[in-house]
Structure 1
């Protein structure tokens, strides 16, 4: 698909904020509605070569960084109901990961990272 028929990435991100679309699942569901603008791509990463997080509205307050700080990320992750890296990855694929959490928290928070068990459950044992 040609990018020329779509609005700019910045305009798509603004649309996501106005519509409060903060997950891939929410965006994809919105894109199936008749009210979804033709000028908006159904899958922005395919059109703009960006990450979903560059388009979706963050669940954090305006002016905050793209991702929450590590301690807050752990708190949020522990509410998702997943206990393993595999479950976290599957949740991300399904569009259930909040946009203010990175898809690879082990890389994003590498200086503070204490393992998947700590991130997802608060336990210190190793979870694969």
Structure 2
């Protein structure tokens, strides 16, 4: 490998003095540079970076791109991160993405973003899945567990009280939330969303004639 010189960045090397692609790549790996941002940060003197040797290009992508030697930053740096243009065709489809959100119990957008910051988001999950799949983020999130019983279980449970009408039910629920809080305050509206609701007599188990 050609010996590196630590001259200032103003004095540019001639094309013949510039290091080859392989040598610049070795330089990046020697200094443990793992991303494009780290490359430019490593040479940012104003922020405590190192002086870039005059025979190292300031922007390898442009310098080697003009010589048809450039592939991508991940290829250049030898990192496991894949280039965006490669990754975009390898993302999960929307149903697989929803299954991933559910499996990992991701209930909020904030939770997803925090997980992404830690580097635990898989490469085949886009960083902005709502934009990728053109849906509302809420459609991707894991459904929150309902605090209420399912319709059949709620109906079976509430019938043990022998309520004669919905007013008795609501009054008893108000006084005994610890026990009856597992039944929604307005079961007619809550279970109607799932097309299970029929009527108060059916739900409470009393006859209209009575």
TM-score calculated relative to the size of structure 1: 0.50
Q: Give the length in aligned residue pairs.
A: 83
- 1:9-68 Cα offsets, whole Å, 9 max, x none, are 11111111111101111101222344321111110011111132232241x4xxxxxxxx
Task: Specify whether residues 54 and 13 from structure 1 end up closer, same or farther in structure 2 by C-alpha distance, changes over 3 A only.
Answer: same
- 1:73-102 Cα offsets, whole Å, 9 max, x none, are xxxxxxxxxxxxxxxxxxxxxxxxxxx122
- Contact 2:18/2:55, CA 8 A, preserved across alignment: yes
Partner Cα distance (1:54, 1:101) in 2:
8
Q: Aligned pair 1:10/2:22, yes or no? A: yes
The CA RMSD over aligned residues, in Å, is: 3.2
Relative contact order (alpha carbons < 8 A, sep ≥ 6): 1 or 2 greater? 1
- Contact 1:22/1:56, CA 8 A, preserved across alignment: yes
- Contact 2:19/2:56, CA 8 A, preserved across alignment: yes
Structure 2 unaligned blocks of 5 or more: 1-11, 98-124, 136-210
- Bigger mean CA deviation after superposition, 15-24 or 30-39: 30-39
**Which structure would you say has the larger Rg?**
2
Partner Cα distance (2:75, 2:82) in 1:
12
Corresponding residue number in structure 2 for 1:91:
none
